[in-house]
Structures are given as structure tokens and as C-alpha cells.
Chains A and B, each alone.
Chain A
Amino acid sequence: MAEVFQAIDQFPVTLKTWLLGHAAGVMPEWALPLLSAALSITPILAVFPLLFALTTVIERKGLGRIQNRRGPNRVGIPLTNIRLAGFGQFIADGIKSLTKEDIVPRSADKVVHFLAPIALLIPVLLTYSVLPFGRNMVPLDLPQTGLLFFFALGASTELSVFMAGWSSRNKYSLLGAMRAIAQMVSYEIPLILSALTVVMIAGTLSLSGIVESQAEVRFGFLHSWHLFTPWGLVGFFLFLTAAAAEANRTPFDLPEAESEIIAGYFTEYSGFKFAIFFLAEYLGLFAMCGLGITLFLGGWLPPFKFLGFIPSWCWFLGKLVALILLFIWLRGTLPRLRTDQLMGFAWKFLLPMTLINLFVAGLWHLSVTSVPMTVRWIGGFALLAIPYWLLGRGFEAKVGKREYRFAN
């Protein structure tokens, strides 16, 4: 029985080796590395855009449910009465965006306008190459610099947002781009600092190494995910907040803010270019979620040892879908922040909290052998909860007499 489960677990790897083994006799020597790379890339390009397509439908249905309406439920298989509860919607949307006219404003900078969506999508797709999707399933294992690769490519998307906003020659586009860059630069710091705690504890930048550092089994059944520590718990939520801001998700969707600046930096994009922006944004969110899973939620590891028979890639995808549903729920629940609130939150709350969290992680690491578990837990939580309370006081809504500065 165990062999069967292991065969399912390693099925993608076995399939790839089998295909490569058969191709070795047919293809020339120099083409084999290319084929190997193509075989690693194909599943990523097949799975994640499909997940994006399904997410658009699930998001619209979920938001509809939250807002007490139905959401898409008509489109099914054409020329039949099969409706699939509206899950054919993404195909109709895809055909629509492919066949729509591509309008470029007359005064737009044509070349930069054309390059911006491509320059956004390519780094986002590249970030997937270092994520460990399952046991032995890392397309590009960088033992020295895996995490750095992810953040370097994540940082290079900011420039494409600027390219889109500037080249459109539209004030809303430029405003959206400036908002987006200010937000992404500010939230990158807490994002990287909260991920740094894991690097400190695991002692490696390799993402598969970080997953392996969480494989130790506690109390006979529990895998030691980094989430199950005071600094990991706080770090995960700090990471998730910064990731939401980095991916321009509600409540941090000021760069798009359709009620204020239409659609921000992609106001002047139509047709399939708009679809590429949409795709890149969601793929960026999925990659961020995948990184959060790898860093804090044990990657492809199950929570309990006795659930280890479920294939590792199912765990990764399951956690990913759970995080996506969390983000849809947040989008339906939270209102958008104001720009000053956004900046104040990043610099006055997230940044001090991540720095304190780094300090707590260091203490946790130093006291591994010398201090008993309960004392470390209580001490760690006290060191994090007190600053949380002190810093959070400044952000509480103050209800007082309303002052009308210009109307009195």
C-alpha cells in the first residue's frame, strides 16, 4: 500500500524521467537539457493559468455570495443545456478578451505601452521556478540563493507597473502607477524582513532546504511547521499582509481603485493586454501564497505525520487554494484603505513589528537548548503581544465630534 501512495506522490517526477529516458535515444545530445527544462515548465504553465481561470469564477461567485447575489451561473457548455454552475464563464471571458479590439491611445508611447504587460508577466512566471511544489519537485533548485531569486524578480515587477502607467499618457494611469510603486516599495521591506526570520532559523536561502527544516516531527505526530512558533505565527500574518499589499489585493488595491482612478495603471489597456495584466496580478498573488506556504506552512509537508500518505503536491495545492479563498473572503469583507493610512500602516506598524519579530526569532534560536518550551512560548508571545498592543493603539478608530474644516 505504501508503495502505491509513494508512486502517486512521485508520479510527475517518474513521468519526467521516463519521457527523458525515451527521448535520449531519439534526440541529439544538446537538445536534452532543453527538453528537460520544457518538461518542467509545461506543468507550471498548464496548472497555474488554469487555477487563475477557475479563481476568477470562484472569486466572482464568492463575492456574489458575500454580497447576497448569485454571481455568474449561466455559462456552461455551448449548444447544450449543461450549465456547470457557471464554471464555463472563464472560457467565455477568455474568448471575449482575445477577440476584443486592442486600443492604443494616440499619444501613448507605443513601444513602452506594448512592452509593459510582457515585462510584468515574465518575472512573475519566473518566480515559480524556485517554488518546491512537492517532494523532489523544484524546477530550478538554487541551494545558495533561492529566496533571493524570488525577491529579486518580485522587485523587478515594479518597473513594469511604472512603464504601463507612464506610457499611457493618462493622468489616472500615472496616478495609479505612482500609488502602486510607493505601495510596493514600502511593503517590500516588511515582506522581506518577515521572510528573513525563517532564513535565520533554517540557516539557508534554499526553498527546498527551508521545507526540509520543517520536517522534524514533534510529540510523535506534529510536523514542526514554522507557523507553530510565536515568531512564525506573527511572521506569517505579517507576511500575508505585506503579500496582499505587494499583489495589490483588497484592502490594499489603491493602485487600481476603480471608484477613484478607474483602473489605475492599466486604464488604457484593452483586449488581451488587459487580460495579461489581470493574469500577471493573480499569478503574482499565487506565487506570494506559494512562498508563504513554503516559508511558514511547511511547503508540501502535511500538518500531521499520519496524513503523510496524501501526495505532497496535493498538500501544496490544497494550501494554495485555501489561501486564495482567504484572500477572496478578505476582498469581500474589508474596505479600501486611504493612502496616508496605507503608508502609516507600513512604516509605523508593520516595520516595527517585523523588526521585533526578527529579535524574537533570534532569542528563540539562542534559547533552543537552555530554556524550557513553555517559558519560551510565553516569553516570545509577551515580547510580540505588548508591542502589538502599543503600536496598534494609534490605529484605532477614534469616534468623536466630527469637525468640518471647510464647512463651519
Chain B
Amino acid sequence: MTLSFAILAGLTVGSAVAAMSLRNLVHCALGLVLTFAGLAGLYLQLNAEFVGFTQILVYVGAVAILIVFAILLTRGTEPANEPAAVSPWAGLPVAVLAFLAMAAAVLASPVGKRLAAPVPEVSVKTLGQKLMTDYVLPLEVLALLLTAAMLGAVIIAMKDKEDLQ
């Protein structure tokens, strides 16, 4: 464990805890952004430059803005003082399931067996070619999903205008 890994891991976990525990929703969102940035740093440490910078571009640049807009447009930004409607223990089964799934994945991977995983020579070019040949179906499905979401957003936004008239 190197020093940079310790710093990045501490930052990621600490900001994730802050994102869950802070009372002000915008502070939570900013904490989450710090988590995204820490994850990007961890990707960079694994020499996955493309994934790391894409993480920053997509999550810090776009998803964070989306979250912030959603917070500002749906409810006040005042700190919420009412207690949570659902018992905090309700999340326990989900947390256990998520932990089991991740533990199974980690134990099945070569990292758990202390074997040296083969280091593939991945360039952006190979990523693009794979995306356009082997993984073209998932890509197209994603494009369809995003288009449907965009159309849905436009329709929701249009309805307001008709009501006004």
C-alpha cells in the first residue's frame, strides 16, 4: 500500500461517509463529487487513464450538475430537519446483498488469489474498436435508452406549457 493510495482511499471513503451523513443536501452532493474525484484518482493510480478522465468528465462534469439541478429544482436547499421517514435499518438487506456480491466478485478475481493478472495493452484505439464491433449492441441499447429518456424529459417539460394556456 503506497502513500498515494492511502490518501486517495481515505479521501474517497471519508467523502462518501460525509455524503451520507451531512444534513444539508447540497453539502451531500458536494461530498459525493469528492468521492467521484477520489475514484477517478484510484483509476489513474491503476494506469487506467482513459477510464479515470472519463470518470471526471462524466461524473464530476455532468452527473454532479444533474444532481445539483435536481436538488435545486425539486425542493428547498434549506437543511432538512425532519427525521427520516423510513427506519435506517431498512437499508441493511440491500447493504448486505451489495457486500456479498462485491465480496464474491473480489474472491473470484485473480487479485484475491495473489496471482499476477495479465496486463493487457489497452489503448484508446482498441477501446473504440471493441465498442464499435464486439460491444456495439450494448452501445446501441444505451443510445436508445438515453434517447427515450431525453424524449421523456422534453414531453414532461412541454406539458407545463400547455397547462398554462
20 more CB-based (< 8 A) A-B contacts, given A159-B30, A185-B65: A112-B27, A144-B50, A144-B123, A152-B53, A152-B56, A155-B56, A155-B57, A155-B60, A155-B61, A158-B61, A159-B33, A159-B60, A159-B61, A159-B64, A162-B65, A166-B68, A166-B72, A181-B65, A181-B68, A181-B69
Q: How far is the CB of A155 from chain B (nearest CB, A)?
A: 3
**Known contacts A181-B65, A205-B124; is-contact A166 B26 (Cβ 8 Å):** yes
Most buried by A among B61, B65, B72: B61
Is B33 within 8 A of A144, CB to CB?
A: no
The answer to the question of A317 belonging to the interface, with a C-beta cut-off of 8 Å to chain B, is: no
Is A156 within 8 A of B50, CB to CB?
A: no
| A300 vs B39: C-alpha distance when bound (angstroms) | 35
Write out, one digit per residue, whether chain A residues 125-160 have a CB within 8 A of any chain B CB (1) or not (0): 000000000000000001011001101110110110
The answer to the question of A163 belonging to the interface, with a C-beta cut-off of 8 Å to chain B, is: yes
**Known contacts A158-B65, A159-B64, A185-B62; is-contact A151 B57 (Cβ 8 Å):** yes
Q: Chain A: which residue is nearest B60 at the CB level?
A: A156
| A152 vs B33: C-alpha distance when bound (angstroms) | 14
Residues of B within 8 A of A148 (CB): 50, 53-54, 57
Question: Which residues from chain A sit less than 8 Å from chain B, CB to CB?
Answer: 112, 142, 144-145, 148-149, 151-153, 155-156, 158-159, 162-163, 166, 178, 181, 185, 188, 203, 205
For chain B, the bracket of interface size reads 20 to 34
Is A162 within 8 A of B68, CB to CB?
A: yes
| A155 vs B65: C-alpha distance when bound (angstroms) | 10
The answer to the question of B21 belonging to the interface, with a C-beta cut-off of 8 Å to chain A, is: no
Residues of A within 8 A of B123 (CB): 144
Residues of A within 8 A of B50 (CB): 144-145, 148
Is A163 within 8 A of B56, CB to CB?
A: no
Residues of A within 8 A of B68 (CB): 159, 162, 166, 181
Write out, one digit per residue, whether chain B residues 40-63 have a CB within 8 A of any chain A CB (1) or not (0): 000000000110011011001110
Sampled A-B contacts (16; CB under 8 Å): A144-B50, A145-B49, A148-B50, A152-B54, A152-B56, A152-B60, A156-B37, A158-B61, A159-B60, A162-B65, A166-B26, A166-B68, A166-B72, A181-B68, A181-B69, A188-B61
| A155 vs B61: C-alpha distance when bound (angstroms) | 5
The answer to the question of B77 belonging to the interface, with a C-beta cut-off of 8 Å to chain A, is: yes
Q: How far is the CB of A131 from chain B (nearest CB, A)?
A: 16
Question: Which residues from chain B sit less than 8 Å from chain A, CB to CB?
Answer: 26-27, 30, 33, 37, 49-50, 53-54, 56-57, 60-62, 64-65, 68-69, 72, 77, 123-125
Residues of A within 8 A of B56 (CB): 152-153, 155-156
Q: How far is the CB of A127 from chain B (nearest CB, A)?
A: 12
Q: Chain A: which residue is nearest B50 at the CB level?
A: A145
| A162 vs B26: C-alpha distance when bound (angstroms) | 10
Residues of B within 8 A of A166 (CB): 26, 68, 72, 77
| A156 vs B41: C-alpha distance when bound (angstroms) | 14
Q: Chain B: which residue is nearest A162 at the CB level?
A: B68
| A144 vs B56: C-alpha distance when bound (angstroms) | 16
Q: How far is the CB of B158 from chain A (nearest CB, A)?
A: 15
Residues of A within 8 A of B54 (CB): 148, 152
| A152 vs B61: C-alpha distance when bound (angstroms) | 7
| A178 vs B68: C-alpha distance when bound (angstroms) | 10
Residues of A within 8 A of B77 (CB): 166
